[in-house]
Amino acid sequence: MTANWYTRLAFLAAALAFVVVVLGAYTRISDAGLGCPDWPACYGHITVPDTHAAIAKVDQQYPDRPVQPAKAWKEMIHRYFAGTLGLAILALAIIACVRRRREAAQPIGLPLALVALVIFQAALGMWTVTLLLRPTIVMGHLLGGMTILSLLWLLALRSAGVLKLGDTWEADWPRWLALAGLVVLACQIALGGWTSSNYAAYACPDFPTCQGQWWPQMDFKDAFVLWHQAGIDFQGGILSNSARAAIHVT
């Protein structure tokens, strides 16, 4: 495999990762995160049950989660694309280690790190369902997706020769400023995931004020509790309005 084909595959994987992130967001805002109560199957099927007899049967098996085909398909389509992305990343790692390992410009550690990361991301996807949309897991799943997208883009740029492995990092002020911006961006993405997973998006229906005030009643103590007791169903959120307002204002 030539470097040109490897670069194309890397860019294709990055584009696919972007699609997976968007589909994940769409699944989330469509309230379809629990469209399939099991993982990786959907009500024990590879696809969503589509006949009345099948739906009636699985409804008996999952009385608390009756089949909603529209939501289940959104979740499964997201899983199909995520699975395809995992195979693309695995292919990049195998090609890098087997076919191109002797090429000086070929990154090896980065594709292997992506394989480890996508495996952990799959585990987060499973825990998102089995732990009933626990906010910390949902936020971690978002950050994992963005990290995979970023690293695939980095791999594609390195494969294309835009960034070279031997480049040194000079600590001049524009680079420090860019690094600071990256940290702030990561924090803002995490806060966005936390806002969504705690259903705090509508805690402040107005802007730039919140509930008609510059400093509304807010409960910061409960707003950022990272872990709650087991068995809680987080669909719809469990926080008070003041805690959700604290998340949104932050």
At 4, the pLDDT band (50, 70, 90 cuts) reads: confident
Q: Specify the pLDDT at position 167.
A: 57
Look at 29 and 52; give whichever has higher pLDDT. 29
Give this prediction's pTM.
0.89
Q: Tokens standing for 181? A: 């911006």
Look at 20 and 169; give whichever has higher pLDDT. 20
Q: Specify the pLDDT at position 80.
A: 97
Q: Specify the pLDDT at position 142.
A: 97
Count the Cβ atoms, other than its own, within 10 Å of residue 219: 16
Q: Specify the pLDDT at position 63.
A: 84
Look at 217 and 55; give whichever has higher pLDDT. 217
Q: Specify the pLDDT at position 14.
A: 98
* pLDDT at residue 208 is higher than 60: yes
* pLDDT at residue 89 is higher than 70: yes
Q: Which residue in 20, 42, 75, 92 is the catalytic one?
A: 75
Give catalytic status of residue 75 as yes or no: yes
**65-82: b or e for each residue (b if 16 or more CB lie within 10 Å)?**
bebbeebbbbbbbbbebb
Q: Specify the pLDDT at position 65.
A: 84
Q: Specify the pLDDT at position 27.
A: 96
Say how far apart CA 72 and CA 50 lie, in whole Å: 11
Is the backbone of residue 212 left (phi > 0), alpha (psi -120 to 50) or beta? left
Q: Specify the pLDDT at position 104.
A: 67
Cβ neighbours for 52, distance < 8 A, ≥ 6 positions apart: none
At 205, the pLDDT band (50, 70, 90 cuts) reads: very high
Say how far apart CA 224 and CA 217 lie, in whole Å: 15
Cβ neighbours for 150, distance < 8 A, ≥ 6 positions apart: none
- DSSP states of 30-71 as a string? TT-TTSSSSSSSBTTBSS---SHHHHHHHHHH-TTS---HHH
At 103, the pLDDT band (50, 70, 90 cuts) reads: confident
At 168, the pLDDT band (50, 70, 90 cuts) reads: low
Average of per-residue pLDDT across 92-106: 83
Q: Is residue 164 classed as helix, strand or coil in its secondary structure?
A: coil
- In the block, which residue shows the tokens 């769409």? 26
Q: Specify the pLDDT at position 166.
A: 56
pLDDT tens for each residue of 31-86: 999 999 999 999 888 999 888 877 887 888 888 888 999 999 999 999 999 999 99
Q: Is residue 210 classed as helix, strand or coil in its secondary structure?
A: strand
Look at 247 and 3; give whichever has higher pLDDT. 247
Mean pLDDT of the chain: 92
At 183, the pLDDT band (50, 70, 90 cuts) reads: very high
Say how far apart CA 25 and CA 139 lie, in whole Å: 11
Q: Specify the pLDDT at position 59.
A: 80
Average of per-residue pLDDT across 199-222: 96
| DSSP bridge partners of 210 | 213
Amino acid at 103: E
120-129 contacts, C-beta under 8 A, 24 or more apart? 120/144, 121/82, 121/145, 121/148, 122/82, 122/86, 125/39, 125/79, 125/82, 126/39, 126/40, 128/33, 129/33, 129/34, 129/36, 129/37, 129/38, 129/39
Q: How far is CA 218 from the centre of its chain?
A: 28
